[in-house]
Copies of this chain bind each other. A is one copy, B any other.
Amino acid sequence: MPTEEQMKSTLQAYVDGFNSGDPAAVTGLYADDAVVVDPVGNPPIQGRAAIEEFYGNAVAAGAKLALDAPVRGSHGDRAAMAFSVHMPGMRIRVIDVMTFGDDGRIVRMEAHWGPGDVES
């Protein structure tokens, strides 16, 4: 299992990679068969091809991420962060929870945001 510090560094790399406009810097943090649930309540997507398409679209749409508070770790295999997604004409408030595999890559991401968390 990765250390708390390693998990937090990965979440920071996720934010930084996203904001650099390089989807591969984000998708490379995921295991090949990872699951992404974004938002929670919608059907999950799974696997490298689907994840690359998802982040390619998000980065192409001009989304930028800003942490609302320091990244949280856990006593287990998870870390979490509260952030805002800034897109042209829209802001979405989100809490992501990431679960890690033994090799330190993300095996599951769950994004908590609802219709009421979207501001135009």
Shortest Cβ distance from A44 into chain B, in angstroms?
A: 11
Inter-subunit contact B73/A4 (CB<8 Å)? no
Contacts of A86 in B (CB 8 A): none
Q: Which of A55-84 contact B (CB under 8 A)?
A: 68-70, 72-82
Inter-subunit contact A80/B41 (CB<8 Å)? no
If A69-B68, A80-B95, A93-B69 touch, whether A74 touches B116 (CB-CB below 8 Å) is no
Nearest-CB residue, chain B, relative to A40: B74
Contacts of A48 in B (CB 8 A): none
User: Chain A contact residues: over half helix, strand or loop, or mixed?
Assistant: mixed
Interface size counted on chain A using CB atoms at 8 A: 31
Contacts of A70 in B (CB 8 A): 93, 117
Nearest-CB residue, chain B, relative to A7: B114
Inter-subunit contact B97/A95 (CB<8 Å)? yes
Subset of 13 A-B contacts with CB under 8 Å: A4-B116, A39-B74, A40-B78, A41-B75, A41-B78, A42-B76, A72-B82, A72-B95, A73-B115, A74-B112, A79-B114, A80-B80, A80-B82
